[in-house]
Chains A and B, each alone.
Chain A
Amino acid sequence: MSDHNWRLAARSLKRDIRAADVRALFVALVLAVAASTMIAFFLDRLERGLERQAGQMLGGDLVLEQRQPFDEELRTRLEQVGFVLSDQVDLVSMISRGERFQPASLKAVDDVYPHYGVSHVDRGNGTEEIASGPPPGEAWADPRLAQLIEIELGDRVQVGQTELTISGIIEREADQSGGFGNFNPRLMLNTADLEATGLVQPGARVDFELLAAGPPAALEQVQGLLAGLRRDGVDVRDVRVDRPQLGNALQRAESYLGLAGLAAVLLAGVAVAMSTRRYVERHLDTAALLRCFGASQYQLVVIFSLQLLGLALLASVVGALLGLIGQAVLLWLLVSFLPMTLPPPGIMPLWLGIFTALAVLVGFAGPTLLRIKQVSALKVLRRELDPLPPSAWLVVGVASIVFGGLLWLYSGSFPLALALLIGGAALLGLLWTISSLLLNGLLIVVQRMTGGGEWSQALRLGGKQLARRKQAGLGQLLAFSVTFFAMAMIVLVRGDLLTTWQDQLPEDAPNYFAINIQPSERDAFERVIAPRVDTQSTLYPMVRGRITAINNQAPGDVVPPDARGDGSLRRELNLTWQAELPEGNQIVAGQWFTTLSEPQGWMGAVEATPRAVDESVPISVEDGLAERLGLGVGDELTFSVGSDTITTHIESLRSLNWDSFNPNFFVIFPPGILESFGHSYITAFHLPDSEQGLIRQLVSDFPGVSLLNVDAILGQVRDVLTQVTRAVELVLALVLLAGISVLYAALTASRPVRAHESGLLRVFGAGNRMISRVQWAEYALLGFTSGLMGAALAELATAGLYLYWLDLTPRLHIGLWVILPLGGALLIGAIGHALSYSLRRQAPAASLGLIGEA
């Protein structure tokens, strides 16, 4: 029994491929699978690749840092779960060659270094890629250090109590996590020489790092251990949490791709629902005949389910193949900026694709398909005996539940999925009501149109046709609205994403940082650079200070356990003072310092009397830091600056953009407090290519000022943006394709009814031109209304998305309200018109079914 059901299903499927609705169904399913697998494959590989890259920048998958050497017990435990360990020691010390002295940031590495990646070192034969550190007895210096103490390859430098030979100039370290916390130039040496230097003494400021490389599973196993270490004040950097900021751009792009994938699945789902309707209608006759020939209800369901299942599996295979090709294309577009080989595609996304196809089929086609079961054998004698279509609520309900499930699966967040679903359902109800009103209103307007012109007559007739099939028209209106909405949203978000990226990194984004400008040099420095640079950030004064107490308690006792080893508590922070809120910063809590014009304010007091040490000073803190340390407005922070102690309270929290290539500060003081401490200035500026000579002049005029060139990093981030943009565009094309598949499916579904109508019009004497215009008008009205609805939906949804997902500021898109209705009218009008071309060529007898039953 079941065996021949299979056979019958397979045969009917083979025969059915000829039918337009089955083709539409197939295309829709292929698109759903292709979109979801492509994006899943891609994100999966990108995610794993990024983790690898993050590991490279951190120096390992797990990095521990503390002020004393790590004990054997910890090493054994880490090695037991599969980690390979590497030791590293960081300290700042004076190095010298002859008469020249220079503080340098020493980094001692062992023979395992580096876990990932290579260093770019010039050992006399040009820059080479080397996957190790310097051998014992040798050291590598960065170009700045070489310049400052005038060393060349082969020279010997004094490091503590020993001498090392400079055997390489290090252009780029394998593990370089950027950051400007340490402004001293680098000297890299071997841990074997560390003891001889005599620099590692009790009480010396030495950072011991333990770098571990291992699989994610190993990382998972030691989470408990890590939590304990954090509580003990060890700085723990986990590759999955402390991913270096290659830019939020990539994260947003990932969110965007995920969103686009879902949009494509939703669109494909709508297409599936529409083609299933037509499919079922077409097969009611078959079902009735089969009932006549003795098939049971169960058999009918089995046969048609198997048939659709076969179609879904076939579509999954084709879609998955397309998805594989698509992700390869995506990667090819992106690969030049990914400094890594991505792991091969996993099998998981494939299952996801097949699952998606089945889910879409069950959710969007299921309730409609069950209608076939209800068919009565008597229909063969009495044609009008069609079973009732399933209630719209049932169809939409089941589809929503399944789509909600997919949302959950893709986003991994149940509350988000639920919220989106409930929001979507409410929106759909609203949409239905508004569509209905809108359609009615439009029809009234059309009916009132006077004038004997052929076009207005066509509009009237088209409007009437639409009105006659109001339920079906509403269904299509809904489908088109959702389609336009999804398409518009993907286009809008893309546009805003790109604009935001471009705003974030304008052409004249700073490419140099100048650090350590002494107060005495400040004016001279400004005078030299001002005429020759494009843009320059404010000159920020900078004072080093350490947080010594939070609310009068030791910081370690107050902050969340995870933050006990936080770098901001272990190292000195760069503090600055500003009267105005720096550009690009936003107050998110509290308020910025009261203005100078208030004489009774504390600043007035400062002007009048010397600062009292015990007076609490208002400060502004970066919100990310505040969140990590569990701080809020009103909390008291005590800083030690130099030999003084300053008591402060948080008056405001600021959010700022760390990717902006401008100097950013965790803590900002008001003017009048820190001036008396030793301070230097920092600034960032953009130096055009034509003015590169300025650098040489600055180095010789201001030898104490450190200049950092960030062109390379800037270029890398720009590359990321360009290429992510291309990837985004590819996905956009896919979504638009899915949208068109919906239109195709919907119009295919309504062909027979329209054929009948145009046949009737023809019988009554309408010419081809008239019929063609009436159809144009009907589709255009439909398109116009759907466009309006789509615009409203898209505007609402993008605003929500920006706020809660993509972290952008919402804005109104006026063009949308014009383009979508007009474009919709044009697009639906044109596609519908083109699709009904063959109908218009038909003799009325054929379209009215007077000849045979074809």
Chain B
Amino acid sequence: MTILHNLSLSVVAGESVAILGKSGSGKSTLLGLLAGLDTPSDGELTLFGQPLSRLDEDGRAALRAGRVGFVFQNFQLLPTLSALENVLLPLELSPRAGENQHASQWLERVGLGERTDHLPKQLSGGEQQRVAIARAFVTDPELVFADEPTGNLDPDTGAQIIDLLFTLNREAGTTLILVTHDHALARRCGRCLRLVNGQLEPFQPAAISNGGGDE
């Protein structure tokens, strides 16, 4: 089954791009392809100047290491790890000096300096997503992928998370690729695209949205 076809997209460093689409339109598939988590049956993807088709699974993983951050709709925190340990996880794959301190600083920046030792289940949804955001930025990545970062949160909390995400993104000068169906969120990106019938088209999100609409 072809989900995406005849699709072309290039994102330059420092840009922030929102990809909108209905449920099942292939947003997550596209994100998986862009991040090199998945491979296309046809076509070519280039990440950091490297054609992904020439890399095997391990090669693509190595390319991501330390350079790509992720924020997920369902947070993807490990339940047996404390907030700090969750943030430390990507650092431990490419260790550097003072990583504990570095991770604590990131937790402070997302406003969780006091809750470093809490387990995910002891944190609220918003707090969990903050931990996830700290984890995404802790390696000082060049590129952050966000998959429906507010999808599991109530509108107020979602708004706070959006603020945090964009503030950190701006400060770090990171490239951001965001997949969402939330127009308010999309509108804050430099460029908006909509995925329809497997193809991307430029799109101007509605000026007013409560964040719950589909499209």
Per-position binary interface string of chain B over residues 107-129, scored 1 when its CB falls under 8 Å from any chain A CB and 0 otherwise? 00000000000011100010010
Known A294-B66, A296-B61; judge A854-B121 contact (CB<8 A).
Answer: yes
- Whether the Cβ atoms of A378 and B38 lie closer than 8 Å is yes
Contacts of A293 in B (CB 8 A): 64-65, 70, 89-90, 93, 139
Q: A831 near B: Cβ within 8 Å? A: no
Contacts of A286 in B (CB 8 A): 78
Known A15-B85, A853-B74, A853-B75; judge A297-B58 contact (CB<8 A).
Answer: yes
Q: A7 near B: Cβ within 8 Å? A: yes
A238 CB to nearest B CB, Å: 60
- Whether the Cβ atoms of A376 and B61 lie closer than 8 Å is no
Once the chains are docked, how many angstroms separate the CA of A85 from the CA of B177?
91
B60 CB to nearest A CB, Å: 8
- Whether the Cβ atoms of B32 and A378 lie closer than 8 Å is yes
Known A290-B89, A380-B37, A380-B70; judge A295-B61 contact (CB<8 A).
Answer: yes
Q: Which residues between 20 and 52 of chain B lie within 8 Å of chain A, taking CB atoms?
A: 28, 31-32, 35, 37-38
CB-CB nearest in chain A for B67 = A294
Q: A852 near B: Cβ within 8 Å? A: yes
Q: B106 near A: Cβ within 8 Å? A: no
Per-position binary interface string of chain A over residues 360-381, scored 1 when its CB falls under 8 Å from any chain B CB and 0 otherwise? 0000000000000000111011
Q: A764 near B: Cβ within 8 Å? A: no
Once the chains are docked, how many angstroms separate the CA of A852 from the CA of B74?
7
Once the chains are docked, how many angstroms separate the CA of A460 from the CA of B77?
38
Q: B63 near A: Cβ within 8 Å? A: yes
Most buried by B among A11, A290, A378, A382: A378
Say which residue of B38, B78, B79, B93 sits within 8 Å of A294 (CB atoms).
B93
Known A4-B95, A852-B128; judge A380-B76 contact (CB<8 A).
Answer: yes
Contacts of B201 in A (CB 8 A): none
Contacts of B93 in A (CB 8 A): 4, 8, 290, 293-295, 299
Q: Which residues between 55 and 73 of chain B lie within 8 Å of chain A, taking CB atoms?
A: 57-58, 61-68, 70, 72
CB-CB nearest in chain A for B75 = A853
B128 CB to nearest A CB, Å: 6
- Whether the Cβ atoms of B81 and A376 lie closer than 8 Å is no
B134 CB to nearest A CB, Å: 14
CB-CB nearest in chain A for B125 = A852
CB-CB nearest in chain B for A299 = B93
Per-position binary interface string of chain A over residues 10-49, scored 1 when its CB falls under 8 Å from any chain B CB and 0 otherwise? 0100011011000000000000000000000000000000
B26 CB to nearest A CB, Å: 12
Q: B142 near A: Cβ within 8 Å? A: no
Q: A289 near B: Cβ within 8 Å? A: yes
Q: A285 near B: Cβ within 8 Å? A: yes
A96 CB to nearest B CB, Å: 91
Q: Which residues between 266 and 289 of chain A lie within 8 Å of chain B, taking CB atoms?
A: 285-286, 289
Contacts of B147 in A (CB 8 A): 381
A287 CB to nearest B CB, Å: 11
Q: B94 near A: Cβ within 8 Å? A: yes
Contacts of B74 in A (CB 8 A): 383, 853
CB-CB nearest in chain B for A286 = B78
A559 CB to nearest B CB, Å: 71
Once the chains are docked, how many angstroms separate the CA of A420 from the CA of B16?
66
Once the chains are docked, how many angstroms separate the CA of A298 from the CA of B64?
16
B11 CB to nearest A CB, Å: 18
Say which residue of B58, B77, B82 sits within 8 Å of A298 (CB atoms).
B58
Q: A292 near B: Cβ within 8 Å? A: yes
Q: B80 near A: Cβ within 8 Å? A: yes
A383 CB to nearest B CB, Å: 8
Once the chains are docked, how many angstroms separate the CA of A11 from the CA of B99?
14
Known A4-B95, A294-B94, A381-B72; judge A854-B79 contact (CB<8 A).
Answer: yes
CB-CB nearest in chain A for B59 = A296
Q: A833 near B: Cβ within 8 Å? A: no
- Whether the Cβ atoms of B37 and A292 lie closer than 8 Å is yes
Once the chains are docked, how many angstroms separate the CA of A854 from the CA of B77?
9
Known A7-B95, A289-B89, A382-B28; judge A294-B64 contact (CB<8 A).
Answer: yes
Q: A156 near B: Cβ within 8 Å? A: no
- Whether the Cβ atoms of A16 and B61 lie closer than 8 Å is no
Contacts of A852 in B (CB 8 A): 75, 120-121, 125, 128
A750 CB to nearest B CB, Å: 18
Contacts of A382 in B (CB 8 A): 28, 32
Once the chains are docked, how many angstroms separate the CA of A380 from the CA of B77?
11
Q: B163 near A: Cβ within 8 Å? A: no
- Whether the Cβ atoms of A381 and B65 lie closer than 8 Å is no
- Whether the Cβ atoms of B121 and A8 lie closer than 8 Å is no
Known A4-B95, A381-B147; judge A853-B37 contact (CB<8 A).
Answer: no
Most buried by B among A292, A299, A383, A851: A292
Q: B92 near A: Cβ within 8 Å? A: yes
B214 CB to nearest A CB, Å: 19
Known A8-B93, A293-B90, A852-B75; judge A377-B61 contact (CB<8 A).
Answer: yes
Contacts of A773 in B (CB 8 A): none
Contacts of A16 in B (CB 8 A): 80
Once the chains are docked, how many angstroms separate the CA of A8 from the CA of B128?
23
Say which residue of B37, B64, B67, B77 sits within 8 Å of A378 (CB atoms).
B37
Q: A291 near B: Cβ within 8 Å? A: yes
CB-CB nearest in chain B for A377 = B37
Contacts of A853 in B (CB 8 A): 74-77, 79, 120
Q: Which residues between 288 and 321 of chain A lie within 8 Å of chain B, taking CB atoms?
A: 289-299
CB-CB nearest in chain B for A283 = B78
Known A299-B93, A381-B72; judge A289-B78 contact (CB<8 A).
Answer: yes
- Whether the Cβ atoms of A381 and B32 lie closer than 8 Å is yes
Contacts of B37 in A (CB 8 A): 291-292, 376-378, 380-381
Per-position binary interface string of chain B over residues 81-102, scored 1 when its CB falls under 8 Å from any chain A CB and 0 otherwise? 1100100011011110000000
Contacts of A18 in B (CB 8 A): 80
B162 CB to nearest A CB, Å: 20
A692 CB to nearest B CB, Å: 73
Contacts of B82 in A (CB 8 A): 15
- Whether the Cβ atoms of B61 and A294 lie closer than 8 Å is yes
Once the chains are docked, how many angstroms separate the CA of A854 from the CA of B31?
25
Contacts of B76 in A (CB 8 A): 285, 289, 380, 853
Per-position binary interface string of chain A over residues 772-790, scored 1 when its CB falls under 8 Å from any chain B CB and 0 otherwise? 0000000000000000000
Per-position binary interface string of chain A over residues 364-408, scored 1 when its CB falls under 8 Å from any chain B CB and 0 otherwise? 000000000000111011110000000000000000000000000
Once the chains are docked, how many angstroms separate the CA of A382 from the CA of B30?
12
- Whether the Cβ atoms of A294 and B63 lie closer than 8 Å is yes
Q: Which B residues fall within an 8 A CB radius of A?
A: 28, 31-32, 35, 37-38, 57-58, 61-68, 70, 72, 74-82, 85, 89-90, 92-95, 119-121, 125, 128, 139, 147
- 24 A-B pairs with CB atoms under 8 Å apart are A4-B95, A8-B93, A11-B85, A15-B80, A15-B82, A16-B80, A18-B80, A289-B78, A291-B61, A292-B35, A293-B65, A293-B70, A293-B90, A293-B139, A294-B90, A296-B62, A378-B38, A380-B70, A380-B72, A381-B37, A852-B121, A852-B125, A853-B75, A854-B121
Known: A294-B67, A852-B75, A852-B128. 7 other contacts (CB 8 A): A292-B64, A293-B139, A294-B62, A297-B57, A377-B35, A381-B28, A854-B119
9 A-B pairs closest in CB distance? A294-B65, A854-B121, A293-B90, A296-B58, A377-B37, A294-B64, A378-B37, A4-B95, A8-B92
